[in-house]
A and B are shown apart, each in its own frame.
Chain A
Amino acid sequence: MLRADNLFKTFNPGTPIENPVLRGLSLTIESGQFVTVIGSNGAGKSTLLNAISGDLFVNSGSLHIDEQDVTRVPAWQRAGMVARVFQDPMAGTCEGLSIEENMALAWHRGRSRGFGRAIRAEQRELFRDKLAMLKLGLENRLADRIDLLSGGQRQAVSLLMASLQPSRILLLDEHTAALDPKTAAFVLELTDRIVQENKLTAMMVTHSMRQALDHGHRTVMLHQGRVVLDVSGDERKQMQVSDLLAMFEKTRGEQIDDDALLLG
């Protein structure tokens, strides 16, 4: 379970470019729940994700993962609880390392690292099996450099990597935004499969309202650093993109002029 209480985060405080991004954001995600998060640019989606992963610390408020206060815990110490897939395919994998070396890094997420061999025979077997699931032929390319893969292949491997070790929450940061529609659909389907198979608690940020409603159990909309909309269950099942838009406009009492939100 993840519990964010009254999070505040301001970038460049006290300067002319002061930018309050999170303004009292509270959100609780139950174990096993798959939440999709939408919101216009600057709504605080990425900042929330970075706050949960520990890439940045909030100014005030608290963050709990399974009753453990992680508000001031640095990213690398949270890694055992938080798995993540980045928006940029380059960001989530390590250029210059091979596919199996990247997977070995992820296999040790949240574990202590010693001086034993990073890749043993049984791990190589496991990586091969996992990669075979993708049906991309990557199981025969374990020793290939990861930068030889396409963006979609890299995101697929990133997803596998995120699921090699258990996590309390999986963060997906617009992880299909950089992909072409066909590849994006493949990666999304893979996401659903991995989340279901491993019964993961997940949070997926997306720019597409369509994706937000089609995937997961619950949809949350952020605006000006707060949760302004939170739908789940039957209400959500019957919801169309147009309803979501209408609700958003009613809540905020203003028009959305961000095209990105209307598309998809």
Chain B
Amino acid sequence: MTPIALMGALEIGLIFALVALGVLISFRILDFPDLTADGSFPLGGAVAATLIAGGHDPWLACGFGALAGAVSGLVTAWLHVRLNILQLLASILVMIALYSINLRIMGAPNMPLIGSPTVFAPFIGEALENSWLVQPAVLAVIIVAAKIALDLFFASQTGLAMRATGANPRMARAQGVATERMVLSGMALSNALIALAGALYVQTQGGADVSMGVGTIVVGLAAVIIGETLLPSRKLWVITLATIIGALLYRLLIAVALNADFIGLQAQDLNLITALLVGFALVLPKLKAKFSRKAGGKH
């Protein structure tokens, strides 16, 4: 694998680290199985691409992309909390609705951003010779900032209340936590991160496409599961770190699998590999337990 291919894998891995942090909040912290991601990721992309194409500042475009994602998460949570629609179903409804909304926002199935300003543009040379390095570097800074912000948030009074809401809602209420509000704001935060990832993604890929969200949730979940399998911990700062590592590792594994000619895999096999990887990561903890039992462990 060439260094450029490696950095490319790293770049997408970093973007999906942001998705994975969002998935971590919904699936793990709030215990809310949320598939909105497949809609909120392209939503962030569509909003950002439309704004950038309209001549607006790319950072502002990212902000509005994230804001749109927050609203979509809020709607999913509201459907569940107020209308008692099953979590999974509520998120599927929003995901489906977002497909139409994303088409409306862009006015077309895709929107090219070739030559438009991006958040990376100020650091890239005239001949684009260093873009393969600059893009992952800028993304890394954003991911590290997001991780630190999340760690601080979940160590705060409100963040702790949010964790309690997911772990034991009845106890949380008995301690005076407005659990419904926590679910609403947590889901908004989760999908804001995912949509921000979408907004950054379109700027690295040179455009937005309405179908770019397919499988987002699976990739995010894969990263979370790989992370917690490799680095099991209950400390939140370790969990967020593990999630980021999981996302990077996942993309690297995919890149290796696709680049190794002797395996004979091609780009269209991506989703199949993803499913296999996630399946493997899901059974890995059980295999580990089985192995340690056979090895005469104390369990």
Chain A positions near chain B (C-beta within 8 angstroms)? 53-55, 74-77, 79-80, 82, 84, 86, 91-98, 101, 104-106, 108-111, 113-119, 145
Contact = CB atoms under 8 A, between A and B. Distances in A.
B197 interface: no
A233 to B, nearest CB: 32
A114 B156 contact: yes
A79 B176 CA distance: 5
B234 interface: yes
Given A95-B168, A96-B234, A118-B160, A79 B155 contact: no
Contacts of A86: 171, 174
B178 interface: yes
A113 B172 contact: no
Nearest to A92: B171
Interface residues of B, number: 23
B24 interface: no
Contacts of B159: 115, 118
Contacts of B156: 114-118
B197 to A, nearest CB: 24
A60 to B, nearest CB: 23
B168 A94 contact: yes
B151 to A, nearest CB: 11
Contact of B178 (A76, A91, A97, A115): A76
A117 B155 CA distance: 6
Contacts of A75: 173-174
Contact of A115 (B158, B176, B177): B158
Contacts of B171: 86, 91-94, 105
Interface string B83-98: 0000000000000000
Contacts of B163: 94, 96-97, 101
Interface of B: 153, 155-161, 163-164, 167-168, 170-179, 234
Contacts of A84: 174
Nearest to A93: B171
Given A96-B167, A118-B155, A101 B160 contact: yes
A104 B234 contact: no
Contacts of A109: 174-176
B50 to A, nearest CB: 32
A108 B179 contact: no
Contacts of A96: 163, 167, 234
18 contacts: A75-B173, A77-B178, A79-B174, A84-B174, A94-B172, A96-B234, A98-B234, A104-B157, A105-B160, A105-B161, A105-B172, A105-B177, A109-B175, A113-B158, A114-B156, A115-B153, A117-B156, A145-B234
Listed residue (B161, B173, B178) with the most chain A CB atoms within 10 angstroms of its CB: B173
A113 B170 CA distance: 18
B161 A113 contact: yes
Contacts of A110: 176
Contact of A105 (B153, B170, B175, B234): B175
B155 A108 contact: no
B268 to A, nearest CB: 40
Contacts of A55: 170, 173
Contact of A114 (B158, B177, B178, B179): B158
Contacts of B177: 76, 79, 105, 113
Listed residue (B153, B159, B174) with the most chain A CB atoms within 10 angstroms of its CB: B174
Contacts of B170: 55, 91
